[in-house]
Amino acid sequence: MATTTATEREFVFTDKHFTKAKQELYDYAGIALADHKQDMVYNRLVRRLRELGLDSFDEYFRCLDSSPAEFTQFINALTTNLTAFFRERHHFDYVKSQIVPAIKNSPGARLRIWSAGCSLGEEPYSLAISLLEAGIDPSSCDVKILATDIDSKVLASARTGVYEQSRVKSLPKATVHKWFLKGKNHNDGRVKVRPELQKMVAFNHLNLMDDWPMKGPFDFIFCRNVMIYFDQQTQARLLQRMAALLKPRGHLFVGHSEALARHQSNFELMGKTIYRKVN
């Protein structure tokens, strides 16, 4: 890997700098960055240098080592937040057709869901919509959706439930009309999820590498397009921990490019990227 020179970029960003950034991210968040991500790391971190008024990456990493607040900004900058409402819709259809019917009419109905790596909140709000459309009544069913992410900035945005109108453009008009409020005045061009959806979701900061404060058991977990950033050893450990939090025969939903083939002793495949705990 060639060392970047000062003539190619605004700031010198060497292999040593890239290795430092990779190691910090892996040690804290378990995220393993590939070597071809060097440009991405530079482009995201250079914004921090400009904002802090620093002259070099050497200065930046000294600041990173001494400032917990900047370390939070570092993690926020390097975590990916690609998301959308009803992304991989077959997962939400499965929840509505296969999971909800077995729960909603049972005495003392209780439903616990975890959206791990919830990003800007589209996933947990899509889950809330799916539950209500499938007949879950929060007044008679004890339902809670836990939504967690390592990025404190996206969590703050998710809690507001406010989105640019372009984020719901692909949804059916009836869905938007039923579940979103149209912004006015300074919120023109934006929409806000309805209060009944917000009440169902609790957003909390969580580093998946840390101890997990929740006890479970969860009926199902959405952990989609998260494990692709971890090495195999970390993936296996996370899957074991998630299995321990799922109720017997609880479900795990993963991303379209993820598979549990090498780690699925705790799970059986139920459909496209949908797994069920075996006991």
Give the residue numbers marked as catalytic. Answer: 44, 149
Q: At a CB cut-off of 8 Å and minimum separation 6, what does 251 contact?
A: 99, 219, 220, 221, 270, 274, 275, 276, 277
Give the number of other CB atoms < 10 A from CB of residue 10.
Answer: 10
Task: Give the position of tokens 């959206």.
Answer: 115
Provide the total of helices (H) and of strands (E) in the chain, helices listed first: 11, 10
The distance of Cα 232 from the centroid of its chain, to the nearest Å, equals 19
- Can you name the residues that pair with 50 across neighbouring β-strands? none
Phi–psi pair at 251, nearest 5 degrees: -105, 150
- Cβ–Cβ < 8 Å for 135, 191: no
Report the chain's terminal Cα–Cα distance, integer Å: 47
Secondary structure (3-state) at 173: helix
DSSP H or E stretch at residue 110:
strand 110-116
Give the number of other CB atoms < 10 A from CB of residue 24.
Answer: 17
Q: What are the tokens at 215?
A: 């006890």
Enumerate the H helices of the chain as residue ranges. 15-29, 38-52, 57-66, 68-78, 89-94, 101-104, 122-133, 152-160, 173-179, 195-198, 232-245
